[in-house]
Chain A
Amino acid sequence: GDSVTQTEGLVTLTEGLPVMLNCTYQTIYSNPFLFWYVHYLNESPRLLLKSSTDNKRTEHQGFHATLHKSSSSFHLQKSSAQLSDSALYYCALSDQTGFASALTFGSGTKVIVLP
């Protein structure tokens, strides 16, 4: 079945520094849909970014990610971390488009941004 791997369980960094969270996936489907969800403490997980287009950068709220099918990756980046970026970040995969299929989530990366 599908799988999503997030190699960092915890990332701690200083405000203002760049951050990159790794996400790789495995699926037999040739047109996967990749997502980043962010989960702030005491809130609901919410969508941060999504993409199904190979090699096209997608951006939202200062974060960006590019789906690379050749390497099965969808890494999340931000050039300058803010204190408010402290949260749990989940990469997720859907193997169908235009249909409400099940998402496969990674194990999540906890980001702590320090002053």
Chain B
Amino acid sequence: GPKVLQIPSHQIIDMGQMVTLNCDPVSNHLYFYWYKQILGQQMEFLVNFYNGKVMEKSKLFKDQFSVERPDGSYFTLKIQPTALEDSAVYFCASSPPGGRSAETLYFGSGTRLTVL
């Protein structure tokens, strides 16, 4: 089936540094998402993105977070600066255009971010 690719699968950085998580969504999809999962907890919505803009964001989407998808390339999540509480698995997802099919999310396998 359709695949969402996330690069890298693991990332270790020092607190205060910047990190960019990359996502290659399914090619004809128009809606893009980031979810955060702290170890042992549920996946939590961060942000969704459509037509070059953030549509919704949660309280978890702090000012240090930003997303973009320049010219149909990777959909990225940037955290600058990082904090210890940003350690988690970040899942990217995408969904097809229009109607009820937009509600079926296709997830990547996640990027495990460790902030030291």
Contacts and interface: CB of A to CB of B under 8 A. Distances in A.
Given A33-B103, A44-B109, A45-B107, A100 B43 contact: no
Contacts of A106: 42
Contact of A101 (B44, B56, B98): B56
A106 B104 CA distance: 17
Interface residues of B, number: 30
Nearest to A103: B45
B56 A46 contact: no
A100 B102 contact: yes
A101 B31 CA distance: 10
B95 to A, nearest CB: 6
Interface residues of A, number: 25
A1 to B, nearest CB: 10
Contacts of B99: 98
A24 to B, nearest CB: 14
Nearest to B95: A100
B106 A90 contact: no
B103 A50 contact: yes
B102 A104 contact: no
Nearest to A91: B42
Given A44-B4, A98-B99, A103 B42 contact: no
A77 interface: no
A13 B55 CA distance: 42
Given A45-B91, A47-B104, A108-B42, A100 B109 contact: no
> Closest 6 A-B residue pairs measured CB to CB?
A102-B45, A100-B31, A45-B107, A105-B42, A44-B107, A44-B109
